[in-house]
Structure 1
Amino acid sequence: MSRDGETGATGVDPEQLWLGHLQPRRGRRPAYSREAITAAAVELADAEGLEAVTMRRVAARVGAGVMSLYSYAPDKETLLELMVDHVSGELPTTVAPTGDWRADIKAVAHLQRALMLRHPWLPAALSTRRTPGPHTLAFMERALAALRPTGLDGAARLEVFAQLTAFVVGHVTHEIAQASASQAPGRAAAEARYLAAVAADGHHPELAAALSAPGRPLTPEATFTRFLNRLIDGLGTE
């Protein structure tokens, strides 16, 4: 990866990233903290999108020289790892399981969705492999504890958590795209007229039946909850 802020194939060493910084530093006290640099990158992504996050832009935001940032994050891929874990620190991790694993894991999913909506760049950042940092691991512990009453072994619970996270990432990605598309003047009305015409042409009886079914709440929250209920309520135990 070049040092121009472009993301390439990941070469992040998770031991160096998450454990190396715990080693005592020698020499002069650093001028900036890794946390401050990461927070600046998150603010930039929140305001302008993930594409705006380059080492040069982050350096300007914290008032540092570009080269000085490479001792904290040697490339953008490392910075993304730090950003993902930084915002994961917003997720509550000390809530004890209630024993109702379906309700508890649904709560986990709703928290993930809310986090991704606050940081719309997060689904894209999670689309490639990430090594969980300390905040991510803490939330994962909460989810795995919530799944304990299922009787699933540890590996299966990890799979359920991964499946749940993938569902939330996909749903929020679609939700954000739909919200953006709906802002186009007349788009929603045109889509409704088109589907009504297709349903009436006699060639799509299943679609016609679906469109004539009683309406359901179409708010983003209600739609997410319905989809989530289908996913979680359909999970069995091994």
Structure 2
Amino acid sequence: MPRDGEPGATGVDPEQLWIRPTEPRRGRKPSFSREAITAAAVTLADAEGLEAVTMRRVAAEIGAGVMSLYSYAPDKETLLELMVDHVCGELAVTDPPTGDWRADLKAVAHLQRAHMLRHPWLPAALTTRRVPGPNTLVFLEHALAALRPTGLDGAAKLEVFAQLTAFVAGHVAHEIAQAAAARSPDRAAAEARYLAAVAADGHHPELAAALAAPGRPVTPDATFARFLNRLIDGLDTD
């Protein structure tokens, strides 16, 4: 049995997890379910971060013995898979793609960003390989349909989606860190003084010129849209 909070040594079997999920078969009907366990873990991660999510903490949240949870999620790695797919259920898209693949892909990215900001632990959870669960597959299907007009082959479409998701996750992680830094005025002032000194030392002319250039809107929404436009408008579909 893996130690509390550690992933299993053999990794997650996606067929067992998503097609043949393990449920207790004997004894009295349990007072909790895999869905309840996953929801409790998500609530804990939303409030305190991924570090707080251990089998022991989740068991305490739902009022169960920690050993009983292993029938549903044998290790934290499996629990993370369940958590990621659980929150992906919020990304359900009902409207079909418009046919303007760039606009549709930007809409996908904006949905992802809002989703990750609601669940700040998601960017970190996505840094390791995740096998798409049922909810994730629904959103992936929509993104691939949005790319249909490009004429890209299947592998290229999957690469574009992976690239987009990685961009959004990285941007949101940076956005969250910047927001935390902004809550410390002393740190922000120190960083501004440092950059001003570097720009004035004569050894970094390119940086000095960049810092002296007219500024652009720096709201989180405007910054994300600007970066996203550069990424998607520059995609080569030939």
Superposition TM-score, scaled by structure 1 size = 0.94
Per the alignment, residue 147 of structure 1 pairs with: 147
Using the TM superposition, give the Cα deviation of residue 193 of structure 1 relative to its aligned residue in structure 2, in angstroms. 2.1
Percentage of matched positions with identical amino acids = 83
Q: Give the RMSD, CA atoms, in angstroms.
A: 1.8
Q: CA contact under 8 A between 1:94 and 1:142: conserved in structure 2?
A: no
SS at 1:215 equivalent? coil
- SS of match in other structure, 1:168: helix
Partner of 1:163 in structure 2? Answer: 163
CA contact (8 A) 2:85 2:133 kept: yes
1:172 alignment partner in structure 2: 172
Match for residue 73 of structure 2? 73
Runs of at least 5 residues in structure 2 that lack an aligned partner in the other structure: none
**Residue aligning to 1:132:** 132
**Contact 2:7–2:78, Cα closer than 8 Å, also in 1:** no
Amino acid at match of 1:101: W
Q: Distance in 2 between matches of 1:94 and 1:130?
A: 24
Q: 1:33-52 to 2 correspondence within 5 Å? A: 33-52=33-52
1:186 aligned counterpart, secondary structure: helix
What is the distance in 2 between the residues matched to 1:45 and 1:23? Answer: 24
SS at 1:235 equivalent: coil
Structure 1 residue aligned with 2:215: 215
Once residues 8 and 70 of structure 1 are traced to their aligned partners in structure 2, the CA distance between those partners, rounded to angstroms, is: 11
Q: Deviation of residue 88 (structure 1)?
A: 0.5
Residue identity in the other structure for 1:121: W
8 A Cα contact 2:22 2:71, kept in partner: no
Equivalent residues of 2:23, 2:71 under 8 A apart: no
The answer for the alignment partner of 2:190 in structure 1 is: 190
Q: How far apart are 1:214 and its partner, in Å?
A: 1.2
In 1: Cα distance, 2:208 partner to 2:79 partner: 49
Q: What is the identity, as a one-letter code, of the residue corresponding to 1:152?
A: L
Partner of 2:96: 96
> 1:154 and 1:91 mapped to 2: Cα distance?
22
Shift of 1:25: 5.5
The one-letter code sitting in structure 1 at the alignment partner of 2:41 is: A
**Large movers: runs of 4+ above 3 Å:** 7-10, 22-30
Q: Deviations over 1:108-139 (max 9, x none)?
A: 11111111111111111111111100000000
Q: Aligned residue for 2:32?
A: 32
Answer yes or no: is the 8 Å Cα contact 1:171–1:224 preserved in 2. Answer: yes
Contact (CA 8 Å) 2:24, 2:71: kept in 1 or not?
no
Structure 1 partner of 2:227: 227
Structure 1: gaps (5+ residues): none
Aligned partner of 1:126: which letter? L
Aligned residues: 238
Looking at structure 1, the residues matched to 211 and 8 of structure 2 have their Cα atoms a distance apart, in angstroms, of: 44
Q: TM-score, normalised by structure 2?
A: 0.94
Q: Quick one: distance in 1 between partners of 2:227 and 2:41? A: 32
Distance (Å, rounded) in 1 between the aligned partners of 2:27 and 2:102? 51
